[in-house]
Chains A and B, each alone.
Chain A
Amino acid sequence: MTAGGAIDPEAIDAMLGNTGGDPAFVAEILGDYLDDTVIRLEELRGAVANGDATAARRAAHTVKGSSASFGASLLSSLAAQAEHLSQRSDLASIAELLPALSTELERVRIALHAEHTRLLGTGS
C-alpha cells in the first residue's frame, strides 16, 4: 500500500497487466479517475445540501465502484457507507461522513501522484 494504504499498488500493477502493459495509459486513467472522483464527491456534497437522496446514492455508488477498481479500498468503503445511508435517505449521516471522504480523497490524491511517478518516472 502507498500513502498509508490509500491505494493498493498491486491493483495498479494488475491494471497495467490487464490493459496491455502501457504505463502511459494507466497513468492517464489514474488522472481520469482522480478528476472524476473529485466531481462525484462534489455531486455527493451538493446532493446532501439539496436533500436529494437519489443523486447522493448515484454519486456514492460511482465512487464506491471506481475506487474499488483502482485499489482505493478505504475511499470505496466510505462511499459504500454513504450509498447505504442514501438508500435509507439518511442524508444527515452522509453529511457526517463527508469530512472523512474528503480526507481520504486527499490521501488518494497523494498516493496516485506516487503511482504516477512510479509508472512514468515523473510527477502528474
Chain B
Amino acid sequence: MTGAGNILAVEDNPVNLKLLIRTLEQQGYAVCPATNGRDALDILCGRHPRSFDIVLLDIEMPVMNGYEVLQAIKENPGLRELPVVMISAVNEMESVVRCIQMGAADYLHKPFNAELLRARISASLASKRLRDLELEYLEQVHRLTTAATGLEAGSYELGVLDPVTERTDELGALARVFRSMAREVRIREERLIAQVQELRIEIDEQRQTQQVAEITESDFYKRISAEAEALRQIVES
C-alpha cells in the first residue's frame, strides 16, 4: 500500500477527474484513474486483487455505467471485498438506495466536500482493513488444518506453516507448537525407519548363517565331504 491507500478513481469527465485526483493526492492517497467503467474493470482484473484499497465510482458514464461496474465487482469473487464508494451528481434517493443494496460501501453527492470525502474514505478503508485481517486469519486457520490433515496422510511439508508461526497471537502460538510437534514426529519417523533398516540387515545376515549351518550339518553334505576326503587321499597316495 502506498501512503494512506491506493484508490481507483473512475470518472468520465476529465475536469472532474483532474480535480478528484489532485484532492486525493493532497490527502495522501495514491490514485489510479479510469475514464469509463470498462477501463476500470480491465484495470481491476489485470492486477492483484489487493492492489487497490478502494474504488471511487461515478455513475453516469459512457461504455459501462457505475451500476454495471458495481454489479461486476460484487459478482467477482476476487473483487467483491473491495469497497466501492459512489460519487455522483445523481441526487435521487432511489439511486443511493440502489447502490447500497448492490453492495456499495457509501455514496457521496457531487460536488463533494473534501473533508467529507476524506472521512468517508477513511471509514471505508478502516472497514476494509479489518475485513482483510479477518480473511488473512481464516486463510491461515485453513493452512493449519490442511497441515494437520497432511501430517496424518503423510503429505505434510516442513515450512508450510512458517507464515502462520510468525503471528504473535494464539493462532501463531498454536502453529509454532504444531510445527515443533510435526518436526518431532518427522525425526522419530526417520529414526524408526533407520532402525528397521538395520534390523532387516541383521535378520538377513542371521538367515544366511542359518542357511549355511543347515547345509553344512546335513547328512548329504557330510557324505559328500567324506567322499571328497577319500578321493583326496587316493589322489595323494
* Interface residues of A, Cβ cutoff 8 Å to B: 11, 14-15, 17-20, 25, 29, 32-33, 36, 58, 61-62, 64-66, 68-69
Complex Cα distance, B18 from A25, in Å, reads 10
* C-alpha spacing A28/B22, complex, angstroms: 13
Q: Is the CB of A62 within 8 A of B22?
A: no
- Taking a contact as CB atoms closer than 8 A, the residue among B26, B62, B89 that contacts A64 in the complex is B89
Contact call A18/B114, Cβ cutoff below 8 A: yes
Chain A proximity mask over B8-21: 1 for CB below 8 Å, otherwise 0: 00000111101100
A66 to B14, CA, bound (A): 10
Which B residues lie within 8 Å of A65 (CB)? 13, 16, 88-89, 110-111
Rounded to whole Å, the gap between the CB of A38 and the closest CB of chain B is: 12
Query: Quick one: given A19-B26, A62-B13, A65-B13, are A32 and B18 in contact (CB under 8 Å)?
Result: yes
- Assess whether A69 is in contact with B110, with CB atoms less than 8 Å apart: yes
Tell me the minimal C-beta distance from B3 to chain A in angstroms.
Answer: 14
Main secondary structure of the interface of A (DSSP, over half): helix
Instruction: Please name the residue on chain A nearest to B16 by beta carbon.
Output: A66
Q: Does B124 sit within 8 A of A, measured CB to CB?
A: no
Is the CB–CB distance between A19 and B19 below 8 Å? yes
> Which residue of chain A lies nearest to B27 when distances are taken between CB atoms in the complex?
A18
CA distance A28 to B137 in the complex (A): 48
Distance in Å: Cβ of B33 to nearest Cβ of chain A: 15
| In the complex, the 7 A-B pairs of residues with the closest C-beta atoms, listed nearest first | A65-B89, A18-B114, A69-B111, A19-B22, A68-B111, A65-B110, A32-B15
Query: In the complex the two chains form, what is the Cα distance from A18 to B115 in whole Å?
Result: 9
Identify which of B23, B89, B110 contacts A19 (C-beta below 8 A): B23
